[in-house]
Amino acid sequence: MNKKTALITGGASGIGKITAYKLAEKGYQLVINFRNSESEARTLATHLNKVYGINVITIQGDVADKDDCIRIINQSLSVFSTIDVLIHNAGPYIHERKKLTEYSLEEWNYLISGNLSAVFYLTKLIIPSMRNRKWGRIITMGFDRVETAPGWIHRSAFAAAKTGLASLTRTIAMEEAENGITANMVCPGDIVSEWKEKNISDSIHSSGEAAPVGRPGTGEDIARVVSFLIEDNSGFITGSIIPVTGGMDVLNKVNRVKID
């Protein structure tokens, strides 16, 4: 029986990296996509190959670029016979707080392309072969309450792209259900950078800011959900938007505006 292969965009660091570990534990062959983190990607690939004995390749590419998406898929399929799982973890984000009118046209287009159009580019290329095998898993990433199309102050482009992606994810799920392909969105809560590559055990006795459940969220919290959704027996779960927030009302926290 051939091993399944998963493509993780933005897989060299953060939540993508810890998700790679979870899938490696399951025996998946992996394609680790990165944009700038070549050293981190290669180190990760070498380590996963050594520890888990799986075949791992790294491919540079900016998912906001259509041609790069095509190249990523072509290079993946030149090594592996299939791409069975797509985890679209990469998501351009601008940390600077600014209103819609302050975004440049280039910034707006880049955020929309990287967070929304990229999923169209990639799934258009891999769904036909998934249909042939009558099996496939597509995972996208959102944010808390994305399915309600909420406003997110100072994050207009990112919020618009992810809201559109929520609808696209559900549409893919409906269109491809008959082909054994599922599509689901996982929505991380307020997981800060220092916790994105940590395990749940690291957070149990943390004295840092905690969610209502009593501890910070970690990358493992997200990776465990992704790992569950791609299992064979998870085929009944599709078109779902799953918040993993520890009970925190994330948008209510970030949308508070200080009035001078």
pLDDT tens string 143-197? 999 999 999 999 999 999 999 999 999 999 999 999 999 999 999 998 888 899 8
Sorted by where each begins, the domain ranges of the chain are: 5-254
Q: Which residue has the tokens 């287009």?
A: 109
pLDDT tops 60 at residue 257: no
Q: Which residue has the tokens 């991380």?
A: 188
pLDDT of residue 157: 97
Mean pLDDT of the chain: 94
Rounded average pLDDT over 121-148: 97
Q: Percentage of the chain with pLDDT > 70?
A: 96
**φ, ψ at 101 (rounded to 5°):** -70, -15
Crossing angle (nearest 10°) for helices 156-176 and 105-112: 30
CB contact at 8 A, 142 and 168: no
CB contact at 8 A, 181 and 131: yes
**Within a 10 A sphere around the Cβ of 179, how many other Cβ atoms?**
16
pLDDT tops 90 at residue 40: yes
Q: What is the CATH number of domain 5-254?
A: 3.40.50.720
Residue 130's SS3 state is: helix
pLDDT of residue 62: 97
Beta bridge partners of 139: 87, 184
pLDDT of residue 258: 45
pLDDT tens digit sequence for 61-83: 999 999 999 999 999 999 999 99
- Residue 87 tokens read as 């985890």
pTM of the model: 0.94
Q: Which residue has the tokens 């199309």?
A: 149
CB contact at 8 A, 44 and 69: no
Report which of 257, 220, 256, 230 is spatially closest to residue 246, judged by C-alpha positions: 220
